[in-house]
Structure 1
Amino acid sequence: MSKTVQPPGDGDGPGREVEPIDLKSALEERYLAYALSTIMHRALPDARDGMKPVHRRILYVMRLLRLNPEAAYRKCAKIVGDVMGNFHPHGDQAIYDALVRLAQDFSVRYPLVDGQGNFGNIDGDSPAAYRYTEARMTEVGTLLLEGITEDAVDFRPNYNEEDTEPVVLPGAFPNLLANGSSGIAVGMATNIPPHNAAEICEAALHMIKFPNATIEKLVEFVPGPDLPTGGIIVEPRANILEAYKTGRGGFRVRARWHREETGRGGYRIVVTEIPYQVQKSRLIEKIAELLIARKVPLLDDVRDESAEDVRIVLEPKSRSVDPDLLMESLFKLTDLESRQPLNMNVLSGGIVPKVMNLREVLREWLDHRRDVLVRRSQHRLANIEKRLEVLSGFLIAYLNIDEVIRIVRYEDEPKKQLMAAFELTEVQADAILNLRLRALNKLEEVEIRKEFDQLTEEKDQIERLLASEDAQWKTIAWEIGKVRDRFGKETELGRRRTSFAEAQEIDLEAVQQAMIEKEPVTVVVSDKGWMRAMKGHQIDPSTLTFKEGDTLKTAFPAHTTDKVLVFTTTGKFHTIGVDRLPGGRGHGEPIRLMVDMDNDADIVTAFVHRPGRKLLVASSAGNGFVVGESDVSANTRKGKQVMNVKMPDEARICRTIETAEGGAAPDHVAVVGENRKLLVFPLDQVPEMTRGKGVRLQRYKDGGIGDAKVFAMQEGLSWQDSSGRTFTRSRDELAEWMGVRAGAGRMVPKGFPRSGRFG
């Protein structure tokens, strides 16, 4: 496909040519150029100095303005203007935002800019306009620029080629890991959390000593991020090691909190540190929203009592609330716990985008420091050689001062005469001719000889340094050692703020329940599978209304923190939280909207889940087994297949096996068939399984199972007739119906309900 470009206007002449362009290749070319520009000049940091172009240009301009830590502050408007006008032809707001971030001690671990005025806060409030704020560099910023005038790095023309700017900063400070970086490019992103500078320096010193050091060893020095806002990292050590090995991973960071006693057994929870990059005001708003929505019933109130430091006060509902459980529920629902990603995607050598591991990042910085050292040494050596050339000329002049004066005074071309008479270079001759008369005293000659000797010695040292790689690494180790000591863990800026801990083993089920306010309800299930939860336990079933043609199947008391087990004719158990059930207004909702129930399935029964209890399940063909309630609870909408049945057989009975308060434990099973034959046998003849078809409970010639009941023989077998009267048969009275499992049984005793059920 091609597109024809026709400039406006008629006729022939310059600018009127028609040029066919292939649209596909044109788009590819332009998009590739855009992508490369974004990756290299906007989104990804340089692995050597850890900076993006905008940050590098801000620091360079501040150096040109001589805004050192001891200098006076200058208006940020001046800094932003110079950056935009000379080096960064983009929006002033983008430059100012970058400048502000470099000054925020809650955004960067080691601020590069010392700001004066309103530079925003941890609540997310915006900084003042740049006409009101002032700034200068910090000690860290000057470290990054150290040696930039000594040919330490390459310079390139700026955007309009009227000036030059550094390609990379000398970077005496390990800025990439210490301050981290984040950015999104085209098809790639980077996210590096801040680390402790002293720990990085220790790891770098170990790498100088052992170039092939393993990442496992380096992680002993750099155990994890050290975030500006503190907090506690609860990520397992194995995950942290894997993240540093691959350059990709993440860290779970939690807020730091403690319990504060208020007297009389009461307490409050005080949060003093929050996760990195979490806005405090938004965090408190979120907690307040959860309170209003009644999703954290263990919490009564939240207050922000912060001044200079963070202080968020959480008031529990009562003194009996477990603080660990309360905090676990808040960690689950709010940004009091957040995940700090690690994606060390950086520009290797300032050119190639690459995801690096910890060792590769440190190696890139160390190699850059060596390049800087060699270049600075060569630059110094060249300056020394120039100075020694001049000084040697001065010494020759002092030794022959009378002849020098004569030549200068009487010769027509003194420069040529001096060069010929004393074998001087042009530089030496010019220096002698530019000497002032006051410099011809004896004292000045002594000073020159002293300087000559000192520079000669320094030259020898530099030449030995450039000739020896070991000497270079020793010098780099000495420089890194100075940085480590300057930002050591005993200093206020260098102390580790983020600690490590293991997440407490808290019952997730308890946390889940802690998020639900406990209220009494009555669960109502209709024959056609509609469910609802009506407030309170005093519900009269006769007052319930249903859709036309529908009736009550079962109703039972529960609490909003409970779970309901629903057993279906296909042998599946479905688990539904009572808090998910619709309210009592109307007829509720079909269970099929809440779980994925089979199309041909109907509800057998529903009841409150009690972990630890056991159930007797049976099919219409008379097969059954015992299963633990914990084994039937399902965490998915599909439910859990427990009883295996094939059409026309179907699951028909589910009875709980539990001991009544003060009663004996159930030990027998009574089964009655549709043929009205009753069989009683010991419960231990029924196997306990987690899933299966089961064993034969009762044998039938025709028909199937009618009902079953688990009871304690000591208390006898009871049933109710249609009038509500209760009949009980003791062991002796049940003698003729006693047998073994899979027997046919005998006709039911007199008084047994016509419905064929125990009631």
Structure 2
Amino acid sequence: MGKSITPPGGDDEKGGQVLPVNLREALEERYLAYALSTIMNRALPDVRDGLKPVHRRILYGMREMRLLPAGGYKKSAKVVGEVMGNFHPHGDQAIYDALVRLAQDFAVRYPLVDGQGNFGNIDGDSAAAMRYTEARMTDVAELLLRGIDEDAVDFRPTYDGEDEEPVVLPGAFPNLLANGSSGIAVGMATNIPPHNAAELCDAALHLIGNRNASVDDLLQFVPGPDFPTGGIVVSPRAEIAETYRTGRGGFKMRARWEKEDAGRGMWSVVITEIPYQVQKSRLIEQIAGLIETRKLPLVNDIRDESTDVVRVVIEPKSRTVDPELLMESLFKLSDLEARFSMNMNVLSRGQVPNVLSLKDVLVEWLDHRQVVLVRRSRHRLGKIEHRLEVLAGYLIAFLNLDEVIRIIRFEDDPKAVMIAKFGLTDVQVEAILNMRLRALHKLEELEIRTEHDQLTKEKAGIEALLASEAKQWKVIAFEIGEVRKTFGPDTPVGRRRTTFADAPVIDLGDIHQAMIEKEPVTIVLSEKGWIRSLRGHLQDLGGLTFKEGDRLKRAFHCQTTDKILLFSTGGKFFTLDASKLPGGRGHGEPVRIMVDMDKDQDVVTLFAHDPARKLLLASTSGYGFTIAESELVANTRKGKQVLNVSAGEEAKICVVATGDQVAVIGTNRKMLVFPASQLPEMNRGKGVRLQRYKDGEISDVRVFDAGIGLTWTDGAARLHQRSITDLRDWIGDRAQSGRLAPQGVPKSNKFGVEGV
């Protein structure tokens, strides 16, 4: 419940009556008034002219100051003072900031203010103070104001009631979509990208001829935004279409770049256009910071060689770097790729905030143009009728010139006498009485009759126009066609700057590697599951220290760009990034905090991923299969279940499956050799039986080529080798028991070489 409050000036102050006020209702009423004021008078543009009040007042104020495109410039401070004093009762800096943005060719696609002096730049430098800069209107601004003196739009009193300002501009230019807009109101916001004016005119002309056209039809003319800074839109066409259908969505923008030959096999990347609203200086600082922190190992240096055009040079680390891969890594980490979120929230019909589609915006602009045409035509018709009335009076005066002169000379009230004698109107008599004597020569009568005929003909044309909606749309189409000629694709200002393309398909793994500096490392895993990464390829591991009671389980060489695969006794594979493993200081970190491995499971092996290999996996019960190593990469901490094991079993074997023969040995010391072709290749499962056991379980597996033979090392590190002929007594079929291993096989029943 709201509380009652006593307003200031109660009984104690003036002895007046205490008026209870419901606090909730008072706050709701005042906040609503504030919200409406922000939405209507500050943040959201009008769909008809695409302007917010401050921009509209700036343009109207400049017109009142006669700052036309063909005229001279005046100090921005004078413009700001006039606008603030007459129309916009807010801070001068806010008005100047709005004026500056209208003059920045990198901020608006078609500037409305022609600035002279420092109006800022794409690096983010601010404009000079208003006392140092000068301004006048552009041709686009003149189009927006065309016909404003012809009763084209409504006017309202200014904030002090001493003057009037337009509610909306006539808007002969599709400004809302051509220049875009952005703003944050209360509970809503707007963000509209710039577009190509010629394309908008084409879409509007299509709508005039076919009001039932869909947004998809209009997208044949308006393929997407046309940003003043150029760049490339890489969003899918379907996503762009949905954005224009709903009025909400986004566009993914990328910088435009090219490979430039630097001679002797060297090259560099030159960026010529950057995404809209990205400050070039901050972009370069961002990329330089990434280079310094070694997050862009493919990039050696960046430098800014820009003048009045953008030229940012990026040097690769070496000539062997793939330019596409280098740029994809830059797009992923820097603002060379940005997203423009569109929210076409505007004041529909100048009154109702609403999110409109592309078609809705164009329809409302066309309807406004029709209203402006009708109002201008009626205004002109009124002027013509008034002039015809005056001309008719002139003709009567010329036909009775001597009598008119006599009446003027001798009558006390010539006006009343002339009205009574000739049947003239008050307007006609006033015009005759105000006529100059030099207008009484004979040629003037002919000129009056000629003008009368011309105006009569023009009046008939306007009346026909007002009576026919088809003729009105024909005139509007002609006006839009003239705008299209002025801003056509063959003109410097009308040429499309932003293009469309599909982002190149680059493997995410390649991009990931491109963002990691490639260095040799040695990965060390202890028996208790502590893992670390030592810089360089260490040959002597005798100096490694471990926690008390712990010792080395597995160590191998790889690169920081490699993926590390971990195989658990539960038959799961987990994936680790070599670059993200803890450094060599101390004893590392438990691998269990990096992956979600069950507490009752342990690590079988750990190795660097090679997607070109095949592996043989087997459980303690002697079941197994082969699998392509490319199928083992897991994308989450939970890992990827590959080898299914039953209760009481564990995954035990993971070896490289290169060869045409398989040698299996069990803990019962029996060995079996069979063709590798008898093993299936699977992606997941229990597999098939490799060797049968009455007592014991599988101990080790080796895949080898029959032409080379089977090799192993004994406890004294001596190498043993048996040809396929020597192994004929052990050759059989998969799932047999085998026979006792040959002499020389270690008592551990291991072939003496790590699996992978």
- In the superposition, the TM-score normalised over structure 1's length comes to 0.95
- Measured in 1, the distance between the counterparts of 2:256 and 2:704 equals 54
Q: What is the DSSP-based 3-state SS (H/G/I as helix, E as strand, rest coil) of the residue aligned with 1:363?
A: helix
- Measured in 1, the distance between the counterparts of 2:408 and 2:375 equals 40
Q: What is the DSSP-based 3-state SS (H/G/I as helix, E as strand, rest coil) of the residue aligned with 1:259?
A: strand
- Measured in 1, the distance between the counterparts of 2:12 and 2:724 equals 119
Residue 63 of structure 1 corresponds to 63
Larger CA deviation: 440-449 vs 624-633: 440-449
Q: Give CA-to-partner distance per residue, 1:618-652, whole Å, 9 cap, x none.
A: 12222211111111111222221112224332222
CA change 1:257–1:449 in 2 (3 A) is same
CA change 1:589–1:148 in 2 (3 A) is same
Q: Does 1:344 align with 2:337?
A: no
After superposing on structure 2, the runs of 4+ consecutive aligned residues of structure 1 that deviate more than 6 Å are none
In structure 2, give the amino acid aligned to 1:753: P
- Measured in 2, the distance between the counterparts of 1:693 and 1:591 equals 26
Residue 252 of structure 1 corresponds to 252
Query: Post-superposition shift, 1:365?
Result: 1.0
Decide whether the 8 Å contact of 2:6 with 2:21 is kept in 1. Answer: no
- Measured in 1, the distance between the counterparts of 2:13 and 2:516 equals 80
Q: Give CA-to-partner distance per residue, 1:523-574, whole Å, 9 cap, x none.
A: 1111222221111113312111112222111000101111111111221111
Query: Post-superposition shift, 1:7?
Result: 4.5
CA change 1:385–1:291 in 2 (3 A) is same
Residue 661 of structure 1 corresponds to none
In structure 2, give the amino acid aligned to 1:717: L
Decide whether the 8 Å contact of 1:669 with 1:709 is kept in 2. Answer: yes
In structure 1, give the amino acid aligned to 2:151: D
In structure 1, give the amino acid aligned to 2:694: K
Q: Does 1:48 align with 2:48?
A: yes
- Measured in 1, the distance between the counterparts of 2:16 and 2:692 equals 101
Residue 373 of structure 1 corresponds to 373
CA change 1:496–1:8 in 2 (3 A) is closer
RMSD over aligned CA atoms reads 1.9
In structure 2, give the amino acid aligned to 1:420: A
For residues 397-436 of structure 1, the aligned pairs below 5 Å read: 397-436=397-436
Q: What is the DSSP-based 3-state SS (H/G/I as helix, E as strand, rest coil) of the residue aligned with 1:754?
A: coil
Larger CA deviation: 400-409 vs 44-53: 400-409
Residue 457 of structure 2 corresponds to 457
Residue 744 of structure 2 corresponds to 751
Aligned partner of 1:680 among 668, 673, 677: 673
- Measured in 1, the distance between the counterparts of 2:251 and 2:533 equals 41
Decide whether the 8 Å contact of 2:623 with 2:690 is kept in 1. Answer: yes
Q: Does 1:562 align with 2:598?
A: no
Decide whether the 8 Å contact of 1:7 with 1:16 is kept in 2. Answer: no
CA change 1:221–1:131 in 2 (3 A) is same
- Measured in 2, the distance between the counterparts of 1:85 and 1:252 equals 42
Decide whether the 8 Å contact of 1:6 with 1:17 is kept in 2. Answer: no
Aligned partner of 2:686 among 693, 699, 706: 693
Residue 174 of structure 2 corresponds to 174
Aligned partner of 1:708 among 701, 704, 708: 701
Q: Give CA-to-partner distance per residue, 1:675-728, whole Å, 9 cap, x none.
A: 333222222222111111222222333443222222223322222222222223
Residue 663 of structure 1 corresponds to none
Residue 661 of structure 2 corresponds to 668
Decide whether the 8 Å contact of 1:6 with 1:16 is kept in 2. Answer: no
Residue 592 of structure 2 corresponds to 592
Q: What is the DSSP-based 3-state SS (H/G/I as helix, E as strand, rest coil) of the residue aligned with 2:83?
A: helix
Larger CA deviation: 747-756 vs 690-699: 747-756
Query: Post-superposition shift, 1:92?
Result: 2.1
Larger CA deviation: 184-193 vs 14-23: 14-23
CA change 1:16–1:604 in 2 (3 A) is farther
- Measured in 1, the distance between the counterparts of 2:15 and 2:694 equals 103
Q: Give CA-to-partner distance per residue, 1:128-185, whole Å, 9 cap, x none.
A: 1112111110000010000111111111222333322211111001111111112222
Residue 315 of structure 1 corresponds to 315
- Measured in 2, the distance between the counterparts of 1:420 and 1:496 equals 68
- Measured in 2, the distance between the counterparts of 1:308 and 1:751 equals 80
- Measured in 2, the distance between the counterparts of 1:733 and 1:674 equals 22
CA change 1:37–1:675 in 2 (3 A) is farther
Residue 546 of structure 2 corresponds to 546
Larger CA deviation: 29-38 vs 283-292: 29-38
Percentage of matched positions with identical amino acids: 67
Q: Give CA-to-partner distance per residue, 1:400-447, whole Å, 9 cap, x none.
A: 122222222232322222111111112222222222333323233332
- Measured in 1, the distance between the counterparts of 2:56 and 2:291 equals 45
- Measured in 2, the distance between the counterparts of 1:9 and 1:361 equals 51
For residues 82-231 of structure 1, the aligned pairs below 5 Å read: 82-231=82-231
Q: What is the DSSP-based 3-state SS (H/G/I as helix, E as strand, rest coil) of the residue aligned with 1:386?
A: helix
- Measured in 1, the distance between the counterparts of 2:17 and 2:666 equals 99
Decide whether the 8 Å contact of 1:6 with 1:18 is kept in 2. Answer: yes
Aligned partner of 1:722 among 712, 715, 724: 715
For residues 607-646 of structure 1, the aligned pairs below 5 Å read: 607-646=607-646
Query: Post-superposition shift, 1:461?
Result: 0.9
Q: Give CA-to-partner distance per residue, 1:2-25, whole Å, 9 cap, x none.
A: 333234577457574433333333
Decide whether the 8 Å contact of 1:7 with 1:15 is kept in 2. Answer: no
Decide whether the 8 Å contact of 1:294 with 1:517 is kept in 2. Answer: yes
Query: Post-superposition shift, 1:91?
Result: 2.4
In structure 2, give the amino acid aligned to 1:681: F
In structure 2, give the amino acid aligned to 1:747: L
Larger CA deviation: 562-571 vs 727-736: 727-736
CA change 1:715–1:675 in 2 (3 A) is same
Query: Post-superposition shift, 1:601?
Result: 2.7
Larger CA deviation: 327-336 vs 85-94: 85-94
Q: How many residues align?
A: 752
Query: Post-superposition shift, 1:616?
Result: 0.9
Residue 297 of structure 2 corresponds to 297
In structure 2, give the amino acid aligned to 1:378: R
| Structure 1, gaps ≥5 residues long | 659-665
Query: Post-superposition shift, 1:730?
Result: 2.8
- Measured in 2, the distance between the counterparts of 1:357 and 1:453 equals 48
Decide whether the 8 Å contact of 1:325 with 1:514 is kept in 2. Answer: yes
Q: Does 1:653 align with 2:646?
A: no
| Structure 2, gaps ≥5 residues long | none
- Measured in 2, the distance between the counterparts of 1:597 and 1:300 equals 40
Aligned partner of 2:729 among 711, 714, 736: 736
CA change 1:496–1:702 in 2 (3 A) is same
Query: Post-superposition shift, 1:329?
Result: 1.6
Decide whether the 8 Å contact of 1:344 with 1:355 is kept in 2. Answer: yes
Larger CA deviation: 677-686 vs 103-112: 677-686
- Measured in 2, the distance between the counterparts of 1:696 and 1:94 equals 81
Query: Post-superposition shift, 1:332?
Result: 1.7
- In the superposition, the TM-score normalised over structure 2's length comes to 0.96
Larger CA deviation: 341-350 vs 380-389: 341-350
